[in-house]
Structures are given as structure tokens and as C-alpha cells.
Structure 1
Amino acid sequence: MRLGSIIVFVALCSFTAYYIYEPIPEPIGEKWKLMLTDCFFRSLGHLAYFSELLGLKDYMGVMHFITVVESVSPVSDKWVHVSVEKFDGVEVVVYQPKQQGGDGELRRAVIYFHGGGWCVGGTRMAPYDFLARQVSNDLGAVVVSVEYRLSPAHHFPTPFEDVYRVVKHFLQQGVLAQYSVDPKRVAVSGDSAGGNLAAAVTQQLQKEPGQQIHFKVQALIYPVLQALDLNTPSYQQNQNGPILPRTLMVRFWSEYFTSDRAFFRAMMTNTHNNQESARLLKFVNWYDFLPKSYHGNYSYSAPAVTPGGAGEAKELDALSKSLIDPRASPLLVPDTELQSLPKAYVMTCEYDVLRDDGIMYVTRLRAAGVEVTHEHYEEGFHGAMMFTTWPTDFQIAHRIIGNLVKWFEENL
């Protein structure tokens, strides 16, 4: 009996170690901390999958647990005044530095969109609260953190429309004056899906008739920028990578557009394009827009095109307009629409399925004459900036935030 117990105990320990252990690329630091963190995310993903399979709760409903467990109260402290407000009906959390400048001195401002694949995340998550307070305090800036509605309850374009309404509301002379903000020193920023929204609203604002106030700069943190080719080298290299494996990113994309599982299956096999979206694949041809050092052993192969027709193909045809909408895929706009965009900061991580989206955008922005600062972390992984609090307190997160704040200080 005692021997049997020992065998069971050893077996459980072995299984646990096998489950937790995940090979981490050599350049990444704090490997065991990342293994344990990734184990939590993988476990939650497995739970979400089985919950949906059993009809208990949908996948993203379970994944939303990340948002809940990380929630904090948006309260003021001795450095920053925090308030929850509504901008054109959309909830925002506003961070204002308590330390005032000289008489009549106007402040900088940053409008920030959180990440989470348009499906999870929120302004009240501890990492975003931490980031907003640091940016506000270090820059003496007003930070507007936007609580946009999430998918799958609200598919595209609702999240975009929410953040755009906030931008349009805030960039009014009277509103900026209310917060003592200099109209010439306003930035937009976001990470991951938030970087997608930041890039999209910046493009849209440039085309807005009669818009007098524009962003001075845009800062995109490991942004997701296109949904046409989900098999770029970074998607292949990092398909089983930490925090954001390819399957989860594809799930986020499909849920952003529709809850139809046929679309998810098509996106997983990279066969979700039709003739209409295929004509824009030239803008995501990574063989042209990625430096050769990123080509690796991969050969460029354009995603398969599904002809229109009955059943699933017909559903894909109906979704093609969302696929090619620049409000969803900012990388798809022609060069002429990039030329007038403001100075940009684009951050990418080597071990991230979204790496190539960001690098291709940098290439195209520079070719269009836009000044771009590209910061690439060879030891970085997707979501690294989020891990700023115990027990997932990574050194790279503080370095990323420090470099972002420094760039704002020098350019905003």
C-alpha cells in the first residue's frame, strides 16, 4: 500500500513537471517564471476549451477570468488623480498628474487602448493601471484609458467605433482645455489588439473631414495589424510559443469577426481569403516587406483563396469585407494613405506570432516617408509588458515601459 502511494505520488509529480515544463528559447530571461506563467495561461485555455465543448460556458467567457483576477480599483494616490468618466457614452479611466506645471502650462496627453485580442482585458487590470500611473507621473501627462466593448458579445466594428468615439470626443478644443492639454502634444498608444486599434484610429482620423486636431505621435506595442496571412514566419516560428500561441491568436481574430466556428477552422488552415481579399495580399507579402534575416527557412506561399459558393465558402465571402476593412487590418491601406501619418514608435518581440505584422508596418511606413522608431526585443515575448506585478514581475516588462516613457519624453 505504501509502495503504491509512492508510485502514485511520483507519477503525479512527473505529470505535473511534464505539464509545466515548456522549452523556452535561450535568449529569454527568467525562464522558470515564464514557464509557470505560461502554464497558467495554457491551463486556462484548456479549461475554456472543455467548458465550451461541454456546453458549460463559451471559450472567451472562461478566458475572461484573466481580466477578473487582475482587476484593481481605479483610485487616486498621492501622485495621480484617477476618475472614471464617460466620453460620448464610452467609459474611460482618466489619470491626471497632481503636480502642476507653471501658470498656464499645458500638459501632454496619451490615449491608451488595452490589449487582449478584442475579447478579454480591461482598463482596471493591474498592469494597465500600473502603466497609466507611470506614464502620467513620469511625463506629467493626462492618460485616457479606454474601456471599449469586447467580442464576442460585440463583434467588429464595435470595439473600433467605441475607441474612435473617445478619440473624437477628447480631441475637441474645449475638452482638451478642460484637462489643460496642449492640442499639439497628444499621442495614441496601445498594445496587441490595442495597438491594432491605435493604428486604425490614427489612419481614420487623418481622413476625417474638418478634423483640426491630430495626434502628434503614435506608439504601437507588439501590434496585430492584418488578418489575411496567418502563416507568416513569426506565426510559424512561434506557433507554440509562450502566452500567445498561434491557435489562440487565430481564435481572437475569428471571434472579433464572428462566432461561426467555420470561419475559425478556415483561418486555422489559412484558407479564409476570397477573391476580394486576395487582391490585397500584396500588402502583406512578407517576402517583400520583411528583412531577409527574418525569412529563415520559410518559403513565401500566398494564403489559399476559397471561391465563393454555398455553405462555408459563402459565409467566408460575407466576412471578406471585414477582413479587408482597414479599421480591422491597418496594414492593408495603400502607400498614399500612410504618407500623412504622424511619427511612430513600433515595438516588436522576437518570440511573438505578431512580430512580422509590426516589422512589415515599419517597412511600409518608412517607405512612405513616415519617421519610425522601431524597437525590437530579441529576448522579448508577446505580452511581456503586462508582467509588472508579483508574482509575475519580469525585468523585461519594466525595461519596455521605461523605454516607451523615454520615447514619449523625447518625442511628445
Structure 2
Amino acid sequence: ANILEKMRICSVPRFVRIIQGIIFTKKKDPKLVVTDLHFGTIPVRLFQPKTMSCSPRRGIIFYHGGGAVMGGLDCYHNVCAFLARETDSVLLSVGYRKLPDYHYPIVTSDCLNASIHFLKRLNTYGVDPSRVVVCGDSIGGGVIAQVIRALMGQKDLPQIRAQVVIYPIIQTINFQLPSTQQNKSVPFLTWDLMLMFLCKYMAIDLSWQDAMLKGTFIPPETWMKYRKWLSADNIPESFKNKYQESQFPGPFNEAAYLETKHLFDVGNEPLLADDETIAQFPDLFLVSCGQDILRDDALLYKKRLEDQGVPVSWCHVEDGFHGAMVLFDKQPFSFPCSQKILNAVVSYIKGL
């Protein structure tokens, strides 16, 4: 993909999506009615159980992962069908726009706008307004917190009942957490790939990657303000095996900060929101994976919400890795952890 991009034949994101389209084929589920729609310019896919219900159903709004490069309605079709069928819910999958044509903050804005459109029309889809769940993995999991914050000011909309967050990317400031060191070479999200996706989405030149890794782009006063939420001190000792604490952040580089300062936007960094805002977040069900470079993002989010009294349920899958869930039906590439994650999500949602 990199060679083709350098030859100006095909960009990395488009090449990845071509391969993805070959591997991930959607299956028809006889128990569901599946409808492709557009909410304005945003493609969405609606999954509705065929059986009649005597009362409004639970609603799920799903934001897929893929680092704003891959993923999509077709890639996550079977995951969404499984969730809708097994929880007897109406599920809306949001096909937000991606790289290379769209950059930050398009993922958040598309997910927010599609969610507002859906929430305003719950009666049309037979959804109980008191039982709407937002669910997502990877970048989709991180977007959940951003969407929830934006919805807090809209009192005319139904409140989100719970958030189901699966191995999310929650922060883009501290890249020296234990899991970043321990799992930097573990597929499918390696250190290099994560930084490439992040820089491309945030429109940051790749030459600033080293400054981001070492934290030299972080102003000292900013780190003093936010380290209580972002430092490795918040990670339990049991997760620090072979972790070597580094001098973080490194010597401040103002030029690096000026090129990356939009990473500190509170709208992009839910952990940086004030305590009063965090305390208003809905119940959280969190999935973390032991072999995931983003494991500690999940742990930071867990602690931040718990400290403000938000009810948190946690499922840690020690043999899980980033992106495992989407492989649940891709034999022979499915793993026990793939089904374990989905079963845990289904069990939690059915309990609401």
C-alpha cells in the first residue's frame, strides 16, 4: 500500500479498503430487515428484527472502528446483524466519511449528526427513547465520549441510557503508557500504524511522529494540569509487567506543539473534560484487551468515570487484541476472544 501510494497509483486508505472488501463479505440474516439510508450526506444502515413486538424495542447506535481509514457499513455488517438479532434491538450503523478525502473532525461530526437524526425519529423506528445505547470499537469507541458530551446540551433529545465502549482510542497525548510499550508490535494495531492513522486523520505531517511519541509536543503547564488523568500512575500495577517508566514528557518543542496543538482540543480529548461534565456521563460497559496497544486508554477512561461516580462494568479479555471483534465469523481467522467480546456486549445490553 505504501509503495502504491508513493507511485501515486492508489492511496493507502483506498488500497486497504479494496482488500477489506475482498475479505469481509456480508451475510443475509433471515430474522432481520436491513435498510440502507442516507441521513443527509451520511450513509447509514438500519437493522430491524422481523418479529412483531408488543412494545418499543431497545435502540443501538453503532460507530465502527478502523482508524478513519478502514471499516465501514459492509465490514461491520455481520457484527451489527449479530448485535441486533441477539439483543432484539433496532440498530443504526453509521457509515461516517473517511480518509483520504475527509479529515478531523469529520468522524465525530458525522456520528453526532446521524445520532441526532435517529434520536429525533425513534418513534418512526419503534425504539423506546429510554433505552438507547451507543456502541463502538476503536475510533468508534472514542467518538462515543465526544458525541455524549455534545448531546448533553440538547435537552430536547432522549438521553443516552448507556455507552458500550470496545478497545477505544480515548486520548492522543500520552504515547508512553505501559500497553503502548508492551504491545507496540502486536497486530492488528502496531505503534507505527497507529501513529500513521492518527497523523493522516489529524492532518499532521509524519515528520512529527517522534515528537509525539516522546511527548515533546506537550507544553509543561498542560502536562501539569492533565497528568492526574493521563499518566501511567492511573494504571494498576498488575498491568505494568516489563514497563519501563521513561522521562515523559521530553524537553518541550514549541514547533511540534504548534503543528499538533489541535490534539489538545477538549472536544477531541474526553478525559480532559471537567469533573462536573464527566459525572453526567451515562453508564459505561467497557471492553479492554490484554494484547492491545490501546489497553491503557480503556483503563484511563474507566478510572476517570469511576472517580466521578459513573456506574462502570468492565470486561477485560486477556487474550484479546485490537480489532478482534470484527473477526468473530471469519473462519479460520476467528479467535475465541472474538466471540467472547461479542457475547459480553450482548449480555450487558440485554440486561438494560
Per the shorter chain, which TM-score range?
over 0.9
> Structure 2 regions of 5+ residues with no counterpart?
none
Structure 2 SS opposite 1:145: strand
Distance in 2 (alpha carbons) for counterparts of 1:396 and 1:353: 16
Tell me whether 1:179 sits opposite 2:122 in the alignment.
Answer: no
User: What one-letter code is carried by the residue in structure 2 that aligns with 1:261?
Assistant: L
CA contact (8 A) 1:132 1:143 kept: yes
Tell me whether 1:303 sits opposite 2:249 in the alignment.
Answer: yes
User: What one-letter code is carried by the residue in structure 1 that aligns with 2:150?
Assistant: Q
Q: 1:220-231 maps to which residues of 2 (within 5 A)? A: 220-231=165-176
Structure 1 residues 305 and 371 mapped into 2: Cα distance closer, same or farther (>3 Å)? Answer: farther
Q: Corresponding residue for 1:24? A: none
CA contact (8 A) 1:230 1:250 kept: no
Give the C-alpha shift of residue 391 in structure 1. Answer: 3.0
Q: 1:20-99 maps to which residues of 2 (within 5 A)? A: 48-72=1-25, 77-99=29-51
| 1:101-126 deviations in Å (ceiling 9; x for gaps) | 12xx110010001100112110111x
Structure 1 SS opposite 2:122: helix
CA contact (8 A) 1:118 1:256 kept: yes
User: What one-letter code is carried by the residue in structure 1 that aligns with 2:258?
Assistant: D
CA contact (8 A) 2:65 2:139 kept: yes
Give the C-alpha shift of residue 337 in structure 1. Answer: 1.3
Q: 1:187-336 maps to which residues of 2 (within 5 A)? A: 187-206=133-152, 208-258=153-203, 260-274=205-219, 277-278=222-223, 280-296=225-241, 297-299=243-245, 301-304=247-250, 306-308=252-254, 313=255, 316-320=257-261, 322-336=262-276
| 1:321-353 deviations in Å (ceiling 9; x for gaps) | x20123322222222211011100010001111
Q: Corresponding residue for 2:287? A: 347
Structure 1 residues 90 and 271 mapped into 2: Cα distance closer, same or farther (>3 Å)? Answer: same
Give the C-alpha shift of residue 364 in structure 1. Answer: 1.0
* RMSD (Å) for aligned C-alpha atoms: 2.1
Give the C-alpha shift of residue 305 in structure 1. Answer: 5.3
Give the C-alpha shift of residue 54 in structure 1. Answer: 4.0
User: What one-letter code is carried by the residue in structure 2 that aligns with 1:200?
Assistant: Q
Structure 1 SS opposite 2:61: strand
Structure 1 residues 177 and 276 mapped into 2: Cα distance closer, same or farther (>3 Å)? Answer: farther
Give the C-alpha shift of residue 272 in structure 1. Answer: 3.2
Tell me whether 1:134 sits opposite 2:134 in the alignment.
Answer: no
Structure 1 residues 87 and 280 mapped into 2: Cα distance closer, same or farther (>3 Å)? Answer: farther
CA contact (8 A) 2:176 2:248 kept: no
Q: Corresponding residue for 1:359? A: 299
How many residues matched? 350
Give the C-alpha shift of residue 59 in structure 1. Answer: 2.8
Structure 1 SS opposite 2:123: helix
TM-score, normalization by structure 2: 0.93
| 1:63-104 deviations in Å (ceiling 9; x for gaps) | 2334322454585x42000000112431100000001112xx
CA contact (8 A) 2:134 2:162 kept: yes
User: What one-letter code is carried by the residue in structure 2 that aligns with 1:144?
Assistant: L
Distance in 1 (alpha carbons) for counterparts of 2:302 and 2:16: 31
Give the C-alpha shift of residue 153 in structure 1. Answer: 1.8
| 1:162-181 deviations in Å (ceiling 9; x for gaps) | 00001111111xx1000110
Q: Corresponding residue for 2:115? A: 167
Q: 1:150-165 maps to which residues of 2 (within 5 A)? A: 150-165=98-113
Give the C-alpha shift of residue 281 in structure 1. Answer: 3.7
TM-score, normalization by structure 1: 0.80
CA contact (8 A) 1:95 1:132 kept: yes
Q: Corresponding residue for 1:44? A: none
Q: Corresponding residue for 1:370? A: 310
Distance in 2 (alpha carbons) for counterparts of 1:282 and 1:333: 13
User: What one-letter code is carried by the residue in structure 2 that aligns with 1:83?
Assistant: T
